[in-house]
């Protein structure tokens, strides 16, 4: 299991955003007692008001490409859900298969085949893509109830703005820089195992962890880029609140 919350802060580990790297880094260097453990788990209905909440995000184009590659390896809850629906052939094991997979995943009519199931149960599929929902379900307490009445991207964002608890954001594109800034900013509030300078030095020595391998990454990025407009059109939270 992955540590979600410590005594003074909680890391909300969105899939395909460098969460394995961040979780490992925090587990090694934070000296505080873990208070809650659940991989990609939702917040308590009433999270502590004085707890810092930090989330990791990623350009949704790269996130979708990585999610497809992960599924081609036979890994991930999304791939399992899609295969159980009888659509496993979308994972062709080739970069060019990304186009058909994206068409399926971005279509709100297929929400019942995607993971997490709350995507469809909450009704969020009507106004946001799966990547925006994955962030929102971790950032908003009791998300399945609160997003139920959202019918438009604007209503979806209004729920996020009213109930979201995010204090800090780590972008995968600037992961080490953002983690370093986080350590510096909370040097006196979070208890680290070593002085901040030593923690940061260790951060820059750490090798990145790529959980999605086996496909030509350059070709995958090229194909994903062709669908950028369609992807961003379905991701209001990542475009309008995180600037992608």
pLDDT tens-digit map of 100-109: 999 999 999 9
Are 121 and 218 within one domain?
Answer: yes
Are 91 and 71 within one domain?
Answer: yes
pLDDT value, residue 212: 64
**Residue 10 and residue 69: Cα distance in Å, rounded?**
28
Are 47 and 92 within one domain?
Answer: no
The predicted-structure confidence for 23-64, as pLDDT tens digits, reads as follows 999 999 999 998 876 666 778 889 999 999 999 999 999 999
pLDDT value, residue 40: 64
Q: By the 8 A CB rule, do 55 and 166 touch?
A: yes
Length of the chain counted residue by residue: 244
Are 70 and 155 within one domain?
Answer: yes
Overall average pLDDT of the 184-196 stretch: 97
pLDDT value, residue 1: 35
Are 98 and 124 within one domain?
Answer: yes
What pTM, to 2 d.p., does this model score? 0.92
Q: Which helix (H) or strand (E) holds 170?
A: strand 168-171
Overall average pLDDT of the 173-202 stretch: 97
**Residue 73 and residue 86: Cα distance in Å, rounded?**
17
Q: By the 8 A CB rule, do 71 and 115 touch?
A: no
pLDDT value, residue 45: 86
Overall average pLDDT of the 204-215 stretch: 77
pLDDT band at 162 (very low <50, low <70, confident <90, very high): very high
Q: Which residue has the tokens 């979070």?
A: 190
Q: Which helix (H) or strand (E) holds 181?
A: helix 175-185
Are 221 and 174 within one domain?
Answer: no
For 18, left (φ over 0), alpha (ψ -120 to 50), or beta? left
pLDDT above 60 (res 3): no
Share of the chain above pLDDT 70, in %: 95
Give CA separation, 136 vs 55, 119, 144, 165, in Å. 10, 10, 10, 10
pLDDT value, residue 144: 92
**Residue 155 and residue 23: Cα distance in Å, rounded?**
32
Are 223 and 109 within one domain?
Answer: yes
**65 backbone dihedrals φ, ψ, rounded to 5°:** -60, -40
Q: Domain range for residue 152?
A: 63-164+213-240
Are 149 and 225 within one domain?
Answer: yes
Are 141 and 29 within one domain?
Answer: no
**Residue 70 and residue 37: Cα distance in Å, rounded?**
24
Overall average pLDDT of the 213-239 stretch: 94
**202 backbone dihedrals φ, ψ, rounded to 5°:** -65, -35
DSSP-derived 3-state class of residue 5: strand
Are 145 and 220 within one domain?
Answer: yes
Cα atoms found within 13 Å of the Cα of residue 106, Cβ hemisphere only: 23
Are 85 and 153 within one domain?
Answer: yes
**Residue 241 and residue 98: Cα distance in Å, rounded?**
26
Provide the number of structural domains found in the chain: 2
Are 184 and 137 within one domain?
Answer: no
Share of the chain above pLDDT 90, in %: 87
């Amino acid at each position: 299991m992955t540590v979600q919350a410590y005594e003074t802060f909680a890391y909300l580990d969105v899939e395909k955003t460098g969460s394995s790297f961040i979780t490992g880094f925090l587990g090694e260097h934070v000296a505080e007692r873990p208070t809650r453990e659940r991989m990609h788990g939702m917040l308590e209905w009433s999270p502590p008001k004085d707890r810092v909440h930090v989330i990791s995000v990623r350009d949704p184009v790269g996130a979708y490409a990585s999610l497809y590659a992960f599924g081609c390896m036979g890994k991930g809850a999304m791939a399992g859900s899609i295969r159980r629906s009888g659509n496993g052939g979308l994972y062709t094991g080739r970069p060019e298969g990304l186009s058909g997979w994206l068409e399926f995943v971005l279509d709100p009519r297929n929400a019942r085949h995607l993971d997490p199931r709350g995507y469809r149960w909450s009704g969020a599929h009507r106004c946001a893509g799966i990547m925006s929902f994955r962030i929102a379900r971790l950032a908003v307490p009791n998300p399945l109830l609160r997003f139920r009445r959202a019918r438009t991207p604007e209503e979806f964002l209004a729920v996020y703005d009213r109930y979201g608890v995010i204090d800090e954001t780590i972008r995968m594109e600037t992961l080490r820089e953002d983690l370093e800034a986080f350590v510096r900013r909370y040097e006196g509030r979070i208890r680290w195992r070593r002085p901040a300078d030593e923690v940061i030095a260790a951060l820059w020595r750490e090798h990145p962890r790529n959980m999605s391998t086996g496909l030509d990454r350059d070709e995958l990025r090229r194909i994903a880029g062709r669908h950028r407009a369609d992807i961003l059109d379905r991701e209001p939270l990542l475009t309008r609140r995180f600037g992608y």
